[in-house]
Chains A and B, each alone.
Chain A
Amino acid sequence: MPRIRASLVLLAILAAAPLLTGASRTDTLTVSATVSARAKLQLSSLSMSFADADPDTTPSVPASGGPLTIQAKGRTTIGSTVTLVMLATGDLQSGLDVIPADRLSWTATGAGFVGGTVSTAMAQAVGSWANSGSWTGTQSYQFANAWNYSTGTYTTTLTYTLTAP
């Protein structure tokens, strides 16, 4: 008899349970996202020029187009550094006449951006940043004026390289 009674009690509890308590069900969803390394560099202008000026009154000629705005964006692994460097492919040349590229220098604004002097031998740091992100800064170029430059229209190319390892 006690066994039968216990069974009936259990059945009664089971039967009444839905009336006494709420119900719930759960399920799960696995979510993944892939973030790959990438870098993007945008310059406000693809050319700049320096006007002729009297070396005595204008020993340093600013770029006529004003500051160059740079937007650097990079995705890298956590703890790594995104770097932006610049290298001149050659000195300023006009026919056979040459003005050394290091007569070009710049000052910078913006977090992570640094000033420097143009080089044809070694890429010069323009900016560096820890981890991924997007950064905007400016470069204001100056051309060191001198009486010993031969007349001519001089050109060179500056190559910027943004790296997000």
Chain B
Amino acid sequence: MMDQRPAPGSRRALADDTCCQEPAARVPLSLALLLVALMALPASARAQGITFSITEASISFADADPDTTPSLTASSNVTLNYRVTGNGGGNWQITVISGTDLTSGTATIPISNVTWTAAPVPPFQAGTMSTSVPQTVASGSGNANSTTGTMVFRLINSWSYNVGNYNATFTFTMTAP
């Protein structure tokens, strides 16, 4: 019986040797195929994208007589600009939380005294500020193309507030899980 094994130095032997001695050459190939497959997916399916911004950098509440103005309206409305792509049927959400109560030195005004209304409803909703739990501003599912929402913030006015210039920072977060 003839020996089927190729003679050392033949082409087949060379190919097999290449295979077995340099296995790394096949790994990049498979990775490349994966990459090509991923890149070949439609953009909407491949990349879940969120664009989110707030037009205004700051808002303020002016001083007023609590008897005649029991609810203070912020100096300007807040415009939220958002866009969701590649989200399929997934949910998205915009939340807001305050880092602190309104603070002026050692004086504070509870942040829960700040409320908002928003439009359009839905996906936006009214709410009350919190320093501990992110509050939902808007929520929906699927994609959203270049959409805006408007929030109007209000502060309950009270004689119990001590004199001062109070500040707080609100952090808005848009997520598409």
Contact = CB atoms under 8 A, between A and B. Distances in A.
A31 B104 CA distance: 12
A28 B46 CA distance: 29
B162 A78 contact: yes
Interface string B47-66: 11111111011111111011
Contact of A32 (B47, B98, B165, B177): B165
A45 B114 CA distance: 36
Interface string A26-46: 111111111111101000000
Given A2-B24, A5-B28, A132 B163 contact: yes
A22 interface: yes
A49 B130 CA distance: 53
A139 B37 CA distance: 87
A12 interface: yes
13 contacts: A1-B22, A25-B53, A29-B56, A30-B57, A30-B58, A31-B170, A32-B165, A33-B102, A35-B162, A38-B63, A40-B67, A75-B162, A78-B164
Interface of B: 22, 24-25, 27-28, 31-32, 34-35, 38-39, 46-54, 56-63, 65-67, 72, 74, 78, 86, 98, 102, 104-107, 109, 114, 153, 155, 159-177
Interface of A: 1-2, 4-5, 8-9, 11-12, 15-16, 18-19, 22-38, 40, 73-78, 131-134
